[in-house]
Chain A
Amino acid sequence: MTNLLEVRNVKRTFPRGSGEELLVLDDVNMTLKEGEIVGLLGRSGSGKSTLLRLIAGLAQPQGGSLTYMGAPIEGPAQGVAMVFQGFALFPWMTVLENVELGLEALGLPQAEIRSRALAAIDLIGLDGYESAYPRELSGGMRQRVGFARAVVVHPNILLMDEPFSALDVLTAENLRTDLVELWGNGKLPIKGIMLVTHNIEEAVLMCDRVLLFSSNPARVSAEVVINLPQPRDRTSPQFEDYVDRIYVEMTAKRIERMRQAHSATGTNMELAHVSPNQISGLIEALAAAPYDGKADLPDIAYEQELEVDELFPVAEAMQLLRLADVEGGDIKLTHMGKRFADSEMNDRKEIFSRALMSYVPLAAHIRKVLDERTSHSAPKTRFLDELEDHMAEDTAEETLKTVVSWARFAELFSYDDDAASFSLENPT
């Protein structure tokens, strides 16, 4: 089998406020062979979409090489088509015109453009919608247009950037099974597919191989080969084993790193945006039956209808605040977590406040500064500048936003967005 795509030691950085570079992809290696569906699985911000854009030729790496059919990628290559998360359909073109666009760019004769477009529309199940405008269609039908538009150019590689994540659960499943079936029957004029996703089950359902991305900086942390025949059954024990395995892989390293990070302390810890309500909600769910304080991550994700992208940050925040322990694909409430679950609102705030002061250096730091100043207030820029020394601008903003929302819940200090300043006072 030949390699459609080879990615060797790819490195990608973004410029940061302080003039330094932020590493988003570090030493990434992968291949895509003919006849394969390869999944890139990781959390948002893990750089998997960045890698997809490099492969698409929409951006250039700072190091390493990307080779498509033996030639280096130096721009959008013919034979690489993409399906976008937000569909990216042109609202002023009909379904047919949207599908024909890529063929026109190839400069084919009009008659061939028309016949190929109609064939693709037929294949993807869009018959009868040719003259509709995208805004008249439901999300599922829109993404079908996205697929038809990509398939019609007979690409060697189909890139899919979270193509199902903007759809509701039923529509997404319907589209996934249709796609897998077309692929299985060999009806798609495509040689290989790359799927970016943060949905573990989706990856196990569709892919032959799944590459797990770890973040900060992103690299491929593990490869899982899914040895299951298509069509796959979500309820089969083998399927669940794969899902469990990936959960463990994805949590273990991060949590381990977090444990180490605390002991090191410092105010340069990045905090993903998790609201206190999400934390309270998950604690309550964990405390209640059937979990009684301990749950399997895939199970609770399924029960609470949480995507991995939503579950992991909450679980990590709980880990950080010592309200729960995450280990080996399980999450378990700590003593504090259990007390939190049993308490009334005011005691919860008290517990949360103490956890912030003990385990979130940034929160303690802000509180300390406010206590020391006679005015008991400080501008936002004071802390933002400090953070930006260590992280990218938007990460710094998000970290600060997270701390603000936690501190507000804990009534540790308050923040006035109009004046962009922190203070100890609440409106009286």
Chain B
Amino acid sequence: MKILPPVSIEARRLLPSRWDLLAAVMVLGFIVAFADASRLLVQPLASISGNNLDLDPANLPGYALRTGLRMLLAMGLSLAFTFTYATWAAKNPRAGHLLVPLLDILQSVPVLGFLSVTVVWFLSLSPGRIFGAELACVFAIFTSQAWNMAFSFYQSLRTVPEDLTEAGRMFGLSAWARFWRIEAPFAMPPLIWNMMVSMSGGWFFVTLSEAISVGQTSIALPGIGSYIAVAIAQQDMTAILYAIMAMLVVILIYDQLLFRPLVAWADRFRVGDEQSETPPKSWVFDMLRRSRLIDWMTAPFDQMMRWSYRFQPPSFGVRAGFRDADSKLGDIVWYAILAVLGLYAFFRISAFAYLNLAWSDLFTAFGLGCITMLRVVVLIALASLIWTPIGIYVGLRPRLTRIVQPVAQFFAAFPANILFPLAVSLIVFWSLNPDIWLSPLMVLGTQWYILFNVIGGASTIPKELLDAGDNFGVRGWLWWKKIALPAVFPHYLTGAITASGGTWNASIVAEVANWGDTKLRAHGLGAYIADATQAGDFRLVVLGIAVMAFFVVVVNRLFWQPLYWYAERKYRLTS
């Protein structure tokens, strides 16, 4: 299975196209609209269940259940989004022009950004009740999960082997049937991998999404995330440990009951000749497969799907698949709508900026962005130096791989907040510079993607290449330089691109660390957005989001994308 980075790598040009600009304007316009609306809406309520969250560990199972359900709900939404948005983007070239860059921009907007501008609106949906807050929370988790899944699915849909789709058409499968019987199965293994990544992402931001604090609005929904937030506020170390354990249990349950069965099930959708050496196993999956119960339960659904395949849309069989001659009129209408929308968004943004922002604000945000960028660069470089050799070492040893992968997966889900007590104590005790020593928290969750991908790459190096190296006595530094590193390079890049994007996102929780009353602040764009959110200053929130998205997209386009294609051309082992 080839894992692609969750950014658009399709376009091989450096300069932004009109579509990139339009996408940027639309996302920013959307955020501005929400921010404006939020300021106008009466700040509805001071707090929901603020501090009456109980740190008694007996409550934890209940909290864990709630958190787990929110994650599941958000995952369901992400899947629904993936199946619709990505399919639309892949199937309709007209829409794809815009939807792909749009996704690019969306995934570069920090999670807190979506939350801070929408929470007031969500709360206004059901004033005074918890429902709106729950919606806001699920939406926040959704925004930390959906984008990479959609990218993965889109990229899969674009690479379905042509003879498979042709065979489907030859045998009279309708577009609907082809989607469920050919395209979706083909896209399944990478999608499930991305679901696991997304789950980790959701956990990383769990405190942020449950203990929402925007301006005067402060909400702490019962759940593990809020539990951690309260424990940090009360400096309760034991409670933190309990929370870690509860998290571990929930993650394990998810792994055993959901992901492992899914991975075992999806193994059949691999395209390729070789039997996987160690087919993924799952006791739950085996049990489900053997029991009649599950057959009996899914049979009606199965029957329904089969029945639905028979419907041929009226257009099918007449000129199916010859969409290239789409009507000129449709084009005109579509582009006109987009142009109007884009202009409107641009107008909103300009008005917003003109009324609220001074040039000095922009310079401040930009300067802070440079500081955070420096951090990201240094941290990714350090993480690469550490994890690439380790990943290669592990990847070449299948038994070790099986042990390391799940452990690393858990660490990837580890929220940064949990390490706050440790980080803050150490920094205060040694009187260290927070600008430097808070930074490692940023790669806490994201460095693992480098490890995962390098392990994956190393385990697929053809045995013959390694044997050839041994045969010629290539060892030591020469072995690393000439064999191991080039062989994993494309995989490493996928990991590094994922990690880089995630690290930007994590700066919001990592550049500001609290432990009780001690508040440490590093200079950076993440802290800037976090502070502005705390203060409920929407103009700075919007500015911060826009600048961060700009940095992420520019770094991706100017640095990662060219490097990715270079690696694809030069180092991809086609075996």
**Out of A53, A75, A149, which one reaches B317, CB within 8 Å?**
A75
Q: Write out the residue numbers on chain A whose beta carbons fall within 8 Å of the beta carbon of B166.
A: 53, 56, 58, 82, 84, 88
Q: Write out the residue numbers on chain A whose beta carbons fall within 8 Å of the beta carbon of B173.
A: 101, 105
Residue of A nearest to B188 (CB): A92
Judged by a CB distance under 8 angstroms, whether A90 is at the interface is: yes
Complex CA–CA separation, A87 to B316 (angstroms): 25
Q: Write out the residue numbers on chain A whose beta carbons fall within 8 Å of the beta carbon of B185.
A: 90, 92
Within B125-170, the residues touching A (CB, 8 Å) are 161, 163-164, 166-167, 169-170
**Out of B164, B171, B270, B275, which one reaches A149, CB within 8 Å?**
B171
The answer to whether B171 and A101 touch across the interface, beta carbons within 8 angstroms, is: yes
In the complex, identify which listed stretch (B111-119, B318-326, B346-354) lies at the interface while the others stay far away: B318-326
Complex CA–CA separation, A264 to B516 (angstroms): 87
Judged by a CB distance under 8 angstroms, whether A305 is at the interface is: no
Known contacts A104-B309, A105-B309, A106-B172; is-contact A75 B167 (Cβ 8 Å): no
The answer to whether B170 and A91 touch across the interface, beta carbons within 8 angstroms, is: no
The answer to whether B570 and A81 touch across the interface, beta carbons within 8 angstroms, is: no
Complex CA–CA separation, A58 to B300 (angstroms): 34
Known contacts A78-B172, A88-B166; is-contact A135 B273 (Cβ 8 Å): yes
Judged by a CB distance under 8 angstroms, whether A372 is at the interface is: no
Residue of A nearest to B186 (CB): A92
Q: Write out the residue numbers on chain B whose beta carbons fall within 8 Å of the beta carbon of A88.
A: 161, 163-164, 166-167
Count A/B pairs, Cβ under 8 Å: 83
Judged by a CB distance under 8 angstroms, whether A19 is at the interface is: no
Judged by a CB distance under 8 angstroms, whether A80 is at the interface is: yes
Known contacts A76-B170, A76-B317; is-contact A101 B270 (Cβ 8 Å): no
The answer to whether A81 and B171 touch across the interface, beta carbons within 8 angstroms, is: yes
Convert B64-96 into 0s and 1s, putting 1 for each residue whose CB lies closer than 8 angstroms to a CB of A. Answer: 000000000000000000000000000000000
Known contacts A91-B270, A135-B274; is-contact A105 B321 (Cβ 8 Å): no
Q: Which of the listed residues A80, A87, A92, A106 has the most CB atoms from chain B within 10 Å of its own CB? A: A92
Q: Write out the residue numbers on chain A whose beta carbons fall within 8 Å of the beta carbon of B570.
A: 418
The answer to whether B316 and A107 touch across the interface, beta carbons within 8 angstroms, is: no
The answer to whether B167 and A84 touch across the interface, beta carbons within 8 angstroms, is: yes
Judged by a CB distance under 8 angstroms, whether A313 is at the interface is: no
The answer to whether B268 and A92 touch across the interface, beta carbons within 8 angstroms, is: yes
Judged by a CB distance under 8 angstroms, whether A86 is at the interface is: yes
Q: Write out the residue numbers on chain A whose beta carbons fall within 8 Å of the beta carbon of B169.
A: 57-58, 76
Q: Write out the residue numbers on chain A whose beta carbons fall within 8 Å of the beta carbon of B321.
A: 58, 75
Q: Write out the residue numbers on chain B whose beta carbons fall within 8 Å of the beta carbon of A136.
A: 275
The answer to whether B268 and A76 touch across the interface, beta carbons within 8 angstroms, is: no
Convert B324-353 into 0s and 1s, putting 1 for each residue whose CB lies closer than 8 angstroms to a CB of A. Answer: 000000000000000000000000000000
Chain A nearest Cβ from B127, distance in angstroms: 49
Judged by a CB distance under 8 angstroms, whether B530 is at the interface is: no
The answer to whether A135 and B275 touch across the interface, beta carbons within 8 angstroms, is: yes
Q: How many residues of A contact B (CB 8 A)?
A: 33
The answer to whether B271 and A84 touch across the interface, beta carbons within 8 angstroms, is: no
**Out of A60, A91, A106, which one reaches B272, CB within 8 Å?**
A91
The answer to whether B322 and A60 touch across the interface, beta carbons within 8 angstroms, is: yes
Convert B243-274 into 0s and 1s, putting 1 for each residue whose CB lies closer than 8 angstroms to a CB of A. Answer: 00000000000000000000000001111111
**Out of B171, B275, B318, which one reaches A102, CB within 8 Å?**
B171
Judged by a CB distance under 8 angstroms, whether A133 is at the interface is: yes
Q: Write out the residue numbers on chain A whose beta carbons fall within 8 Å of the beta carbon of B275.
A: 135-136
The answer to whether B167 and A105 touch across the interface, beta carbons within 8 angstroms, is: no
Main secondary structure of the interface of A (DSSP, over half): loop
Judged by a CB distance under 8 angstroms, whether B402 is at the interface is: no
Convert A162-177 into 0s and 1s, putting 1 for each residue whose CB lies closer than 8 angstroms to a CB of B. Answer: 0000000000000000
Judged by a CB distance under 8 angstroms, whether B540 is at the interface is: no
Judged by a CB distance under 8 angstroms, whether A249 is at the interface is: no
Q: Which of the listed residues A84, A104, A105 has the most CB atoms from chain B within 10 Å of its own CB? A: A105
Convert A61-87 into 0s and 1s, putting 1 for each residue whose CB lies closer than 8 angstroms to a CB of B. Answer: 000000000000011111011101111
Within B16-64, the residues touching A (CB, 8 Å) are none
Q: Write out the residue numbers on chain A whose beta carbons fall within 8 Å of the beta carbon of B181.
A: 90, 101
Q: Write out the residue numbers on chain A whose beta carbons fall within 8 Å of the beta carbon of B482.
A: none
Known contacts A80-B170, A82-B170, A135-B273; is-contact A91 B320 (Cβ 8 Å): no
Complex CA–CA separation, A102 to B164 (angstroms): 13
Chain A nearest Cβ from B565, distance in angstroms: 13
Complex CA–CA separation, A107 to B181 (angstroms): 15
Judged by a CB distance under 8 angstroms, whether A153 is at the interface is: yes
Q: Write out the residue numbers on chain B whose beta carbons fall within 8 Å of the beta carbon of A74.
A: 317-319
Chain B nearest Cβ from A13, distance in angstroms: 13
Complex CA–CA separation, A133 to B276 (angstroms): 13
Judged by a CB distance under 8 angstroms, whether B481 is at the interface is: no
Q: Which of the listed residues A58, A82, A85, A133 has the most CB atoms from chain B within 10 Å of its own CB? A: A58
Judged by a CB distance under 8 angstroms, whether B310 is at the interface is: yes
Judged by a CB distance under 8 angstroms, whether B177 is at the interface is: yes
Complex CA–CA separation, A88 to B160 (angstroms): 11
The answer to whether B163 and A86 touch across the interface, beta carbons within 8 angstroms, is: yes
Complex CA–CA separation, A90 to B320 (angstroms): 22
Residue of A nearest to B303 (CB): A110
The answer to whether B310 and A58 touch across the interface, beta carbons within 8 angstroms, is: no
Residue of B nearest to A152 (CB): B171
**Out of A56, A78, A105, which one reaches B177, CB within 8 Å?**
A105
The answer to whether B167 and A133 touch across the interface, beta carbons within 8 angstroms, is: no
Q: Write out the residue numbers on chain A whose beta carbons fall within 8 Å of the beta carbon of B164.
A: 88, 90
Complex CA–CA separation, A307 to B426 (angstroms): 73
Known contacts A88-B166, A90-B164, A105-B177; is-contact A153 B171 (Cβ 8 Å): yes
Q: Write out the residue numbers on chain A whose beta carbons fall within 8 Å of the beta carbon of B174.
A: 105
The answer to whether B270 and A102 touch across the interface, beta carbons within 8 angstroms, is: no
Complex CA–CA separation, A56 to B181 (angstroms): 21
Q: Write out the residue numbers on chain A whose beta carbons fall within 8 Å of the beta carbon of B512.
A: none
Complex CA–CA separation, A180 to B296 (angstroms): 44
Residue of A nearest to B169 (CB): A76
The answer to whether B182 and A90 touch across the interface, beta carbons within 8 angstroms, is: yes
Residue of A nearest to B322 (CB): A60
Judged by a CB distance under 8 angstroms, whether B281 is at the interface is: no
Residue of B nearest to A56 (CB): B170
The answer to whether A76 and B172 touch across the interface, beta carbons within 8 angstroms, is: yes
Residue of B nearest to A91 (CB): B271
Judged by a CB distance under 8 angstroms, whether B475 is at the interface is: no
Complex CA–CA separation, A84 to B162 (angstroms): 11
Q: Write out the residue numbers on chain B whose beta carbons fall within 8 Å of the beta carbon of A418.
A: 570
Judged by a CB distance under 8 angstroms, whether B306 is at the interface is: yes
Q: Which of the listed residues B167, B173, B316, B321 has the most CB atoms from chain A within 10 Å of its own CB? A: B167
Chain A nearest Cβ from B194, distance in angstroms: 19
Complex CA–CA separation, A417 to B268 (angstroms): 39
Residue of A nearest to B173 (CB): A105
Q: Write out the residue numbers on chain A whose beta carbons fall within 8 Å of the beta carbon of B322.
A: 60, 75
The answer to whether B273 and A76 touch across the interface, beta carbons within 8 angstroms, is: no
Residue of B nearest to A84 (CB): B163
Within A99-147, the residues touching B (CB, 8 Å) are 101-102, 104-107, 133, 135-136
Known contacts A60-B322, A104-B306, A107-B310; is-contact A81 B170 (Cβ 8 Å): yes
Known contacts A91-B272, A153-B171; is-contact A75 B163 (Cβ 8 Å): no
Q: Write out the residue numbers on chain A whose beta carbons fall within 8 Å of the beta carbon of B272.
A: 91, 135
Q: Write out the residue numbers on chain A whose beta carbons fall within 8 Å of the beta carbon of B269.
A: 91-92
Residue of A nearest to B172 (CB): A105
The answer to whether A133 and B170 touch across the interface, beta carbons within 8 angstroms, is: no
The answer to whether A75 and B318 touch across the interface, beta carbons within 8 angstroms, is: yes
Within B179-194, the residues touching A (CB, 8 Å) are 181-182, 185
Residue of B nearest to A97 (CB): B181
29 inter-chain pairs at a CB distance below 8 angstroms, sorted by A residue, are A53-B166, A74-B317, A75-B316, A75-B318, A75-B319, A75-B320, A75-B321, A75-B322, A76-B169, A76-B320, A77-B317, A78-B172, A81-B170, A82-B167, A82-B170, A88-B161, A88-B163, A88-B167, A90-B167, A90-B181, A90-B185, A91-B271, A104-B306, A104-B309, A105-B174, A105-B177, A105-B310, A136-B275, A418-B570
Ranked nearest first, the 8 interchain pairs of A and B with the lowest CB-CB distance are A102-B171, A88-B163, A105-B172, A88-B167, A107-B310, A92-B269, A75-B320, A92-B268
Additional A-B contacts beyond A77-B317, A91-B270 (8; CB < 8 A): A56-B166, A58-B321, A75-B322, A88-B164, A101-B181, A107-B310, A135-B272, A153-B171
